[in-house]
Amino acid sequence: MDASEFRRRGKEMVDYVANYLEGIESRLVYPDVEPGYLRPLLPSSAPEEPETFEDIIGDIERIIMPGAASPACTELETVMLDWLGKMLRLPDAFLAGDASLGGGVIQGSASEATLVALLAARTKVTRRLQAAFPELTQAAIMEKLVAYSSDQAHSSVERAGLIGGVKLKPIPSDSNFSMRAAALQEALQRDKAAGLIPFFVVATLGTTNCCSFDNLLEVGPICNEEDMWLHIDAAYAGSAFICPEFRHLLDGVEFADSFNFNPHKWLLVNFDCSAMWVKQRKDLIGAFKLDPVYLKHGHQDSGLITDYRHWQIPLGRRFRSLKMWFVFRMYGVKGLQAYIRKHVQLAHEFESLVRQDPRFEICMDVTLGLVCFRLKGSNQLNETLLKRINSARKIHLVPCHLRDKFVLRFAICSREVESAHVQRAWQHIRELADEVLSLDRA
Ligand code: PLP
pLDDT in tens, the chain (442 residues): 788 988 998 999 899 999 999 999 998 888 888 888 999 999 999 999 999 999 999 999 899 988 887 889 999 999 999 999 999 999 999 999 866 899 999 999 999 999 999 999 999 999 999 999 999 999 999 999 999 999 999 999 999 999 999 999 999 999 999 999 999 999 999 999 999 999 999 999 999 999 999 999 999 999 999 999 999 999 999 999 999 999 999 999 999 999 999 999 999 999 999 999 999 999 988 787 666 665 665 555 555 578 898 888 888 889 999 999 999 999 999 999 999 999 999 999 999 999 999 999 999 999 999 999 999 999 999 999 999 999 999 999 999 999 999 999 999 999 999 999 999 999 999 999 999 999 877 7
Please give the number of the atom of ligand 1 that sits closest to the Cα of 109: 15
Q: How many helices (H) and strands (E) does the chain have?
A: 13, 11
> Would you say 173 and 204 are in contact if contact means Cβ atoms under 8 Å apart?
no
How far is it, in rounded angstroms, from Cα 228 to Cα 51?
Answer: 43
DSSP 8-state code for residue 82: H
Return d(Cα 299, Cα 350) in angstroms, integer. 54
The C-alpha atoms of residue 376 and residue 356 are separated, in whole angstroms, by 13
Which atom, in ligand 1's list, is nearest to the CA of 112? Answer: 16
DSSP summary character for residue 105: E
Contact of 210 with 363, CB cutoff 8 Å: yes
pLDDT at 302: 52
Ligand 1 atom 12 nearest Cα: 110
Q: How far is the CA of 265 from the centre of ligand 1 (A)?
A: 9
Count the neighbouring beta carbons within 10 Å of the beta carbon of residue 430. Answer: 14
Nearest of 93, 71, 99, 96 to residue 82 by alpha carbon = 96
Q: What is the model's pLDDT at position 316?
A: 86
What pLDDT is recorded for position 293? 61
CA–CA gap between residue 346 and residue 419 (Å, rounded)? 6
- As a whole number of Å, the end-to-end CA separation of the chain is 51
| Longest CA pairwise span in the chain (Å) | 79
Ligand 1 in reach of 258 Cβ (< 6 A): no
Give residue 420's pLDDT.
Answer: 98
Residue 219 near residue 203, CB atoms below 8 Å: yes
Residue of 337, 368, 341, 366 lying closest to 353 (CA atoms): 366
Report the relative pairing of strands 145-150 and 370-375 from DSSP bridges: unpaired
Residues contacting residue 57 through CB under 8 Å, at least 6 positions apart = 12, 16
| H-run or E-run covering 188 | helix 181-193
Alpha-carbon dihedral 428, 433, 439, 441, rounded to 10 degrees: -150
Residue 264 near ligand 1, beta carbon < 6 Å: no
Ligand 1: distance of its center to the CA of 411 in Å?
15
Beta carbon of 336 within 6 Å of any ligand 1 atom: no
> Does ligand 1 lie within 6 Å of residue 239's CB atom?
no
209 C-beta closer than 6 A to ligand 1 = no
Asked whether 205 lines ligand 1 (CB < 6 A), one says no
Which strand (E) or helix (H) includes residue 429? helix 419-441
Q: Whose CA is nearest to atom 14 of ligand 1?
A: 109
Per-residue pLDDT, 313: 87
Residues across the chain:
442
What is the reported pLDDT for 296?
62
Main-chain phi, psi angles of 147, to 5 degrees = -115, 160
Q: How many CB atoms lie within 10 A of CB 145?
A: 23
Residue 205: the pLDDT is: 98
CA-to-CA separations, 110 to 95, 234, 310, 363, in angstroms, rounded:
19, 8, 18, 26
State if residue 156 touches ligand 1 by the CB under 6 angstroms criterion.
yes
Pocket test for ligand 1, best of 116, 150, 154, 272 (most atoms within 8 A of CB): 154
Best residue among 106, 107, 208, 400 to mutate for probing ligand 1's pocket (most ligand atoms within 8 Å of CB) is 208
Nearest Cα to 125, choosing from 197, 67, 177? 197
